[in-house]
Amino acid sequence: MDVILHIGVLIITLCISYLIYRHKFNGRARSNLPPGNTGWPLIGESIEFLSTGRKGEPEKFIFDRMKMFSSKVFKTSIFLEPSAVFCGAAGNKFLFSNENKLVTAWWPSSVDKIFPSSTQTSSQEESIRMRNLLPQFMKPEALQRYIHIMDSIAKTHFALDWDNKQDVIVFPLAKMYTFSLACRLFLSMEDRQQVQEFAKPFDALAAGIISIPIDLPGTPLHRGIKAANTVRKELIKIIKQRKIDLAENKASATQDILSHMLTTADEAGEYMNELDIADKIFGLLIGGHDTASAAVTFVVKYLAELPQVYDKVFAEQMEITEAKAEGELLNWEDIRKMKYSWNVACEVMRLAPPLQGAFREAMTDFEYGGFTIPKGWKLYWSTHSTHRNPECFKEPEKFDPSRFEGSGPAPYTFVPFGGGPRMCPGKEYARLEILVFMHNLVKKFKWEKLLPQENIIVDPLPIPANGLPIRLHPHHLTSI
C-alpha cells in the first residue's frame, strides 16, 4: 500500500507541476526567444544537465548547445523552470552588471525545501541581510587574525590524519579539514569527535541542494531534507547553549559568527530567531567547506600529475618555512608571499571549478543578444563557458599558472567565485584555507596517484570518482 500511495502522490505531483510548467512557458511565449530545446514535458533537460556532470563532462551540456544554437544565449528547461543560459565573458558581464536592475538572485526550489525558514522573506532580502552580517568576519583585514588558527588546525589535521600513513584518500580528508575550520571559526567548535559526528549528514545535503525538486522517499532531495533536519536540531542545541554562555559571560560577543548573530540587532532593533540563525549558520557551513574541499582535492591531483609545478610550489613554501622560528605559525605576510602557489590554485579552479555556475531570475522583459528574455525566466551562467573556452584562455586544456601573473585573465572570464555584487563573500576565506592547506601539505610530502585514470564526476561539486587515493612520500625534514 505504501508503494501505491507513493506512486499516486508522484503522479499527482507531476500533473500539477506540468500544468504550472505549461503556464510558465505558454503564458510568456514570445516569437523572439533565444534558440534552444526545452526537452521533455515537465522535467525539461534537467536529467541531461545533471547527468553530464555525473559522467565527468559538465561542460558538455553547455558546449553542445552553444555549438548547436548560439554561443551567446540559448533556452532550455531545468529544475521545472523555463531558462536561458548566458554564455561567454559577455554573458557573465551582463548578468553580474545587472544584478538588482534586470536580474535578481534565484535558487531552485530544492534550496527552499532544505532551508524552509528562508521563505519567510524574499531571497533578495535574505541575501542582503546575510551579506551585511559577513563583512567584519570575511574581509581580508578581519581574516588576518584567524590565519594562525587555520595553521594550527591544519597542523593538527595532518598530524592525526596524514602522518605515519602510507596511503590516504584525499577527498574525505580535505572535507574534514575544511569542515573543522568552519566549525572552529563559525561556532567555536573544537572537539574532534563532535566535529566528526556533526559532519556526517553533510554528504546527503550536498546532493540534495541541487537536485530535481521532487520530495519522495529515495530521492536526493528527500535525503537532503532529512539530513538538514538532523543538522538543524544540532545547531538549535548549540545556539541555546551559546545564549546561556553569553548571559553568564562564558562566551564573547565577538568570538565567532554565531555570537555576532545572537547579539546584533537589525535596523528595527529586532534580533534573529533561533531557526533563522540555524539556517544561516547552516548555509555558511556548507559554503565554508564544500567548495574549498573540492578545490584542495584538485590541488593535490594536479600537483601529483605535474612534478615541475609541485617543485615550484615546494620551493616557495620552504622559503617561507625556513624564514620562520621553529613552531612559529603562519601570518599575513607569509600568505602574501605565496604568489605562485595561489596562481596554481587559481589554475586548478579554472580547470575544475568548485562552483559550476549559478542562477538569476529576470525581473522584467529585456533584450539580450538580439533575443527577448521574458520576465520570470530563470537565467544560468556557467564557469565552463569561459574557463574552457579558447576565446577566453589560449590552449584551455593546458595547465598553466602563468595565466594569473600580472593583470591576469581578461575580466569576466575567470569566475570560480562568481562576480558583481553577488561575488562569493567567502572568497578571501577560501583563499586562506587553500593556501594554508598547500603550505602544510607540500612541506611534509610528495605523493603519487594510485589510480592514474580516475574519473572526475560532478554531483553537484566536482569530485574524483574514488576520492583520489594517493601514496605519500614524506620528506623527513628536520625542522618543519
Please, what's the b/e burial string for 166-176 (b: 16 or more CB within 10 A of its CB; e: otherwise)? eebebbbbbbb
pLDDT mean over 87-105 = 93
Between 141 and 27, the more confident residue is 141
Contact 225, 113 (CB under 8 A): yes
> With the C-alpha atoms ordered 418, 423, 428, 433, is the resulting torsion angle positive or negative?
negative
Rounded Cα distance, 178 and 432, in Å: 11
249: confidence class by pLDDT, cuts 50, 70, 90: very high
Q: Pairing state of beta strands 378-382 and 357-362?
A: antiparallel
Structure confidence by residue, pLDDT tens digits, 333-381: 999 999 999 999 999 999 999 888 888 999 999 999 999 999 999 999 9
pLDDT mean over 182-192 = 91
Between 459 and 327, the more confident residue is 327
According to DSSP, the residues that pair with 360 across neighbouring strands are 105, 379
Q: Give the pLDDT of residue 133.
A: 59
pLDDT mean over 1-9 = 44
Structure confidence by residue, pLDDT tens digits, 407-420: 899 999 999 988 76
Rounded Cα distance, 50 and 459, in Å: 8
pLDDT mean over 148-174 = 95
Q: What is the reported pTM?
A: 0.86
Residue 148 has pLDDT above 50, yes or no: yes
7: confidence class by pLDDT, cuts 50, 70, 90: very low
Rounded Cα distance, 340 and 305, in Å: 17
Q: Give the pLDDT of residue 3.
A: 42
Q: Give the pLDDT of residue 244.
A: 94
Which cell numbers hold the place of 117?
Answer: 525558514
Q: What are the residues whose beta carbons fall under 8 Å from the beta carbon of 193, sequence distance 6 or more?
A: none
pLDDT above 70: percentage of residues in the chain: 84
Q: What are the residues whose beta carbons fall under 8 Å from the beta carbon of 217, sequence distance 6 or more?
A: 6
Between 248 and 462, the more confident residue is 248
Residue 204 has pLDDT above 60, yes or no: yes
Q: Give the pLDDT of residue 317.
A: 97
Structure confidence by residue, pLDDT tens digits, 375-404: 999 999 999 899 999 999 999 999 999 999
273: confidence class by pLDDT, cuts 50, 70, 90: confident
Q: Give the pLDDT of residue 480.
A: 47
Q: Give the pLDDT of residue 9.
A: 43
From 283, 36, 259, 300, select the one nearest 172 (Cα to Cα). 300
Between 365 and 15, the more confident residue is 365
Rounded to 10°, the helix 339-351/427-442 angle is 110
Q: Which helix (H) or strand (E) holds 204?
A: helix 202-209
Instruction: Provide the 8-state DSSP code for 214.
Output: -
From 397, 401, 378, select the one nearest 388 (Cα to Cα). 397
pLDDT above 90: percentage of residues in the chain: 49
Q: How many CA atoms lie within 13 A of 384 on its CB side?
A: 19
Residue 71 has pLDDT above 60, yes or no: yes
Residue 27 has pLDDT above 60, yes or no: no
Peptide bond into 460 cis (omega under 30): yes
> With the C-alpha atoms ordered 223, 226, 228, 230, is the resulting torsion angle positive or negative?
negative
Which of 151-160, 207-216, 246-255 reaches the highest mean pLDDT? Answer: 151-160
Give me the sheet containing 103-105, strands edge to edge: 73-78, 81-86, 378-382, 357-362, 103-105
Q: How many CB atoms lie within 10 A of CB 48?
A: 18
Place of cell 562552483: 355
Residue 472 has pLDDT above 90, yes or no: yes
Phi, then psi, of 266 in degrees rounded to 5: -80, -170
From 82, 76, 83, 79, select the one nearest 113 (Cα to Cα). 79
